[in-house]
Amino acid sequence: MSQYQAPLRDMRFNIEEVFDFTSHYASFSQGREASPDIVTAVLESAAEFAQEVLAPLDAVGDKIGCTWHDGEVTTPPGFKEAYAQYIANGWTTLAMPTELDGQGLPASLAGFCMEIMCSANHAWTMYPGLSMGGIQTIAAHADDDLKRRYLPNLIAGRWSATMCLTEAHCGSDLGLLRTRATPTADGSYRISGSKIFISSGEHDLTDNIVHIVLARLPDAPPGIKGISLFLVPKFMVDEKGQRGARNTVRCGSIEHKMGIHGNSTCVINFDEATGYLISPPHKGMSCMFTFINESRMGVAQQALAQIEVSHQTALRYAHDRVQFRGSVRSNPEAAADPIIVHPDIRRMLLTQRAFAEGGRALSYFLAMQTDRERYSDDAQVRETAEALLSLLTPVAKGFLSEVSVEATSYGVQVLGGHGYVREWGQEQHFRDARITSIYEGTSGIQGLDLLGRKILGSRGKALEPFLLLVGGFCQQHPDGPYTAQLQKLVQQWTALTGELGVKALQNPDEINAAAYDYLMFSGYTVMAWTWAQAALVADTALQNNPSEKDAAFYRNKLVTARFYFERLLPRTLALASSMRAGVATLPEFDPLD
């Protein structure tokens, strides 16, 4: 039962008041058409489509799921019609360049719309969402001929894209993959192998599916340094970009999953399938990270979306459900009060809200950096944006996916027994959220990427752009509501980083032992920065005599900020203690008989 409403007021708060996207868009050519009126109109249109078309299909997709027959997949009822409407309304072209028949609007604006649609229907949104990563990968790395033949139909949404990485025996260790690519006389390759867990790998929404595939050339060195990247279409494409004969690519089966039933998760078999090299030989992983990083940000958005929709359902229920008497009676004549009067219910609701609104602010900040990296004419601006994205992408993906599981679990808990049954949709949100901390790299892998590869691997330099940003905020607003706490927290973060670096020199396993806790500590710290900004803006706005409706919004911001700093942020103390305990507390288990 979905009554999802796009959180347009909070979205505008971040777009207009916290991050000033109006000035941001005016600073580069791709953003100058994104006037405040255009932004408002686009967001309202996305909300209408999400609320009226996608949200009613969410439970349908979960209940009926995808069906597989003889290598073909049928999506749930209504999915195909919704996709056709999505294409007809031009959503796929929103942030594409005008020279590629796009609308020339910024990537960030398209991202805001995807958040709305993902909250309405996570599984459905994955189909067009994955295509965005495929488009970026082809545009960044393929030769001009492949771009000419494939990009127009992908951008128009007539075709879709997937990422084919892992195999049954290797999981996240892609250095073990065995799919092979044999060169032919005409310059193409014959791709043979089997890929698993391929989201949107087969479906009936588009006329063609373009697989972006990792495989090994005959002379490939072992391990991760021997992987190349290929484009393998479901249907062959001629020189004019027209679809031709079927390639030897088949969907062997679909997975029966815990959640996201409306999205097909496939085994894809390549049997001497024709493919085309995208990356330089043996340099596939570096090129694939264009797709992987795009997808990791998409997963962070999915996690945020599940928190939002679960919170909305829980909040409505808490206002309507009557149980027990509160210490302050809402209606002295009634036998019981709405459960929202009980502090423990408010604890769970405020936890959800703090993560949803803090996560949205982080997501929008990263969307701004994506714009700067892609569109800015200033090399220094692009370099700084790239550095911030590199550091904060694993934080956003890993932290938001972990707290999404917590928050959607609270969504079930607020409803009690009604949350555990399907009628209210809360158990679906919990199940759908669970995948976000697994795919595109588990939370442990995000922690290793953050702590080991980026921060310690750079001797701490990777942290510097963000520390400068936070330091500048604290210097500019020394009397801000939470500036002092933020400064102290950042000092603890840098001190812990130094401690872990010293321990890692003595035993490299200390990095793995601390990685998850470090990821979560970093997430709470980064979110403290977003909440410090939100509190400052809300506090300032309240001093300017806003309307009563706006005043209530700003007061709620300050209530939630206080809850975050006083009830959630102290979790960093336990995380620091766990990290300092080190690898010595993680001995191998004795073998079992």
Is 588 one of the catalytic residues? Answer: no
Q: How many beta carbons lie within 10 A of that of residue 461, not counting itself?
A: 11
Angstrom distance (rounded) from CA 79 to CA 397 = 27
Which amino acid does the sequence have at 405? V
Residue 200's SS3 state is coil
Of the residues 440, 510, 566, 588, only one is catalytic, namely 440
Contact 215, 181 (CB under 8 A): yes
Q: What is the spatial distance between Cα 67 and Cα 254, in angstroms, rounded to a whole number?
A: 8
* Number of CB atoms found within 10 A of residue 327's CB: 8
**Alpha helix stretches (DSSP H) within 421-547:** 426-434, 443-448, 464-476, 483-506, 509-542
The Cα 140–Cα 292 span in angstroms is: 13
- Comparing C-alpha atoms, which of 203, 177, 171, 170 is closest to residue 192? 177
> 3-class SS at 369?
helix
Q: Residue 180 forms beta bridges with which residues?
A: 192, 216
Among 415, 438, 440, 444, which Cα is nearest to 428's?
415
Q: Are 238 and 145 in contact (CB under 8 A)?
A: no
For 414-430, letters b (16+ CB in 10 Å) and e give bbeeebeeeebbbbbbb
What token pair was written down for 313? Answer: 């359902």
Strand 159-164 relative to strand 208-215, pairing: parallel
Residues 6+ apart with CB under 8 A from 531: 354, 358, 361, 482, 560, 561, 564, 565
Spatial distance between the Cα atoms of 226 and 180, rounded to a whole number of angstroms: 11
Question: Burial letters for 536-565: b for 16+ Cβ neighbours within 10 Å, e otherwise?
Answer: bbbeebbeeeeeeebeebbeebeebbbbbb
DSSP-derived secondary structure for 253-285: EE---SS-TTS-EEEEEEEEEEEEE-SSTT-HH
**All residues at 6 or more sequence positions from 427 whose CB lies less than 8 Å from its CB, including other chains:** 412, 419, 420, 421
Residues 6+ apart with CB under 8 A from 109: 34, 39, 42, 94, 95
d(CA 451, CA 462): 10
Query: Taking a C-beta distance cutoff of 8 angstroms, is the pair 113, 127 a contact?
Result: no
- The amino acid sitting at 319 is H
The amino acid sitting at 152 is P
Q: In angstroms, rounded to a whole number, what is the distance separating the alpha carbons of residues 300 and 359?
A: 9
Catalytic residue list: 440
